Chain A
Amino acid sequence: MTGFWQYDFMRHALISALILGPVCALLGVFVTLRGMAFFSDALAHSALTGVALGLMLREVWGVPIDPLLSVLVFSLSLAALMSWLMRRGNLGADTVIAFSFTGSVALGVVVISALGKYRLLDGFLFGSIYSNSTADLWRQAILALGVGGFLLWNGRSYALATLNPDLAKVRGIPTARLDLIFALLIALTVTVCLKMLGAMLLSALIVVPPAAAKLVAGGFRQMLIFSVAGGTLCAAAGVIASWFLNVPTGPCIVLTDVAFLIGCFVFRAVKA
């Protein structure tokens, strides 16, 4: 354990897991209850296009843009567009997500192929939690406070709007605005977390802990507590296990989350 702690990159990885694990699990409670798991997955994968467009701006036009910024702008724009299209109701939500997802990933692959930067795909898809800098940790901490604070402050509104949007509107809750903000929060979280797990595994961090918590929770408070506690412990345990087992960290975190889900499933089955 001492050996583990003496390396900056491992300390940073563990701190990153302890910051992002709980905020993703908290966001995930609302994502799963609102049936938006595929939405967050689509945004995570579509971030590829943000990376590709940032690279294109830098390499072709010489604009010195931070890739994180291009991903953020692209993800926020796509989230707003999908949210708007889903609200119009002419197309089903799953259809909107499917064509936005596949269309933007296709565009990203075309741009990356044109730039000849295939090696970037590895880092994008699977993440590299060890490359977290101190600035990254600050960024993640600010995100956690902002997203967590906003969700808990508006918890009643989101819960009621999830149950019945008309009931929420009658109570004077601006459901359209909250829906849009929620989509943007997902995009923001996905962008900041991308470095940790990559697009392939990021959804697991958002979706699996709340799904596990939902299996055993006797109420909403319990679901929040189990999800956040499970998300935090699994993320930290995944980082530590990856050090001792000498396996990649992202997949190790996801497998720990899945083990938590299986544990909850078994617990429920035994209890029943």
Chain B
Amino acid sequence: MKRDFHIFEPLLRLDSVGVRYGAQVALRGVSMDVWPGDILAFIGPNGAGKSTLLKAILGLVPIDEGRLERSPEASRDRIGYVPQSLAMDKAFPLTVGEFMALHGTARGFWAGGIPRSERANVESSLEKLQAHTLRDRKLGELSGGQLQRVLLAAAMLRGPELLLLDEPASGIDRRGAEDLLELLGGIHAATGMTILFVSHDLHFVHHLATRVGCLNQSFCGLGTPQEVLHEHFLEEAFGQSFGRGPFRPAVA
């Protein structure tokens, strides 16, 4: 079901946000509004502060300068988060269903398995992401693309208003990335959910994002993909030439 928002209020407003790790500046002077229904991609070189920006929005790193305002729809318990990876022992014997149960609303004793009260919700979430056949597989046995779908299903389990994804296309092949593109596009079309993601994959960004922020500690460009995926901004951010004219995904 599509969400009903007051379209004149941004979900998030960042005003000159700065983040430091000790003496090292990760972000400085980052200002932007995130609007309901946006699909906003952050691109930039390694160390540009893309993941830090997501973490600041998630409240995982403190903001040292500026302000970050949230509308009630963007409170932390209404944000779904898909990390870049799970720092897990591949032999960790956790099934996909059990992993989903960790994200549910059930409280109290848990000794593995999927609580009865969560089963329908877990099934439905996995099915939406075409991952229901993976329910009894161990997480460590999944391919990159399958794991991304499961992480996405877990993030969607509580019906978030805002979805944050850190490098969703990393570690998966082109076919997997295309499938993920299709899934995310479908989720957005069906729910109108606001999506923020970080990616190095300009093809992925070009096909999914409605707005792109080119980041190198601060924004060197923020606008539509046609505006930002352009030689001028990419060279400024990445310090290398991407050919003349606007970015062409087929070539990239």
Give residues in A with beta carbon < 8 Å to B.
Answer: 33, 35, 152-153, 155-156, 159-160, 162-167, 169-172, 214, 217-225
**Which of B76, B97, B102, B108 contacts A159, CB < 8 Å?**
B102
Is A219 a contact of B102 with CB atoms below 8 Å? no
CA distance A164 to B103 in the complex (A): 12
CA distance A153 to B107 in the complex (A): 8
**Which of B77, B85, B89, B106 contacts A33, CB < 8 Å?**
B89
With contacts A170-B60, A171-B103, A172-B76 taken as known, whether A219 is within 8 angstroms of B86 at the C-beta atoms is no
Is A172 a contact of B77 with CB atoms below 8 Å? yes
Is B110 a contact of A155 with CB atoms below 8 Å? yes
CA distance A170 to B165 in the complex (A): 13
**Which of B88, B97, B111, B138 contacts A162, CB < 8 Å?**
B88
Tell yes or no: B246 within 8 A of A by CB.
Answer: no
Tell yes or no: B159 within 8 A of A by CB.
Answer: no
**Which of B89, B102, B138 contacts A156, CB < 8 Å?**
B102
Distance in angstroms from A251 CB to nearest chain B CB is 28
**Which of A160, A165, A223 contacts B112, CB < 8 Å?**
A223
B113 contact set on A, CB distance < 8 A: 219-221
Distance in angstroms from A94 CB to nearest chain B CB is 16
> Quick one: CB contact mask for B70-104 with A, threshold 8 Å, 1 for yes?
00000011010101011111011111011101110
B88 contact set on A, CB distance < 8 A: 162-164
A221 contact set on B, CB distance < 8 A: 98, 111-113
Give residues in B with beta carbon < 8 Å to A.
Answer: 55, 58-60, 76-77, 79, 81, 83, 85-89, 91-95, 97-99, 101-103, 106, 108-113, 136, 138-139
Distance in angstroms from B153 CB to nearest chain A CB is 13
Distance in angstroms from B162 CB to nearest chain A CB is 11
Is B95 a contact of A219 with CB atoms below 8 Å? yes
Is A163 a contact of B103 with CB atoms below 8 Å? no
Is A163 a contact of B92 with CB atoms below 8 Å? yes
With contacts A171-B103, A219-B98, A219-B113 taken as known, whether A153 is within 8 angstroms of B108 at the C-beta atoms is yes
With contacts A163-B94, A167-B83 taken as known, whether A152 is within 8 angstroms of B110 at the C-beta atoms is yes
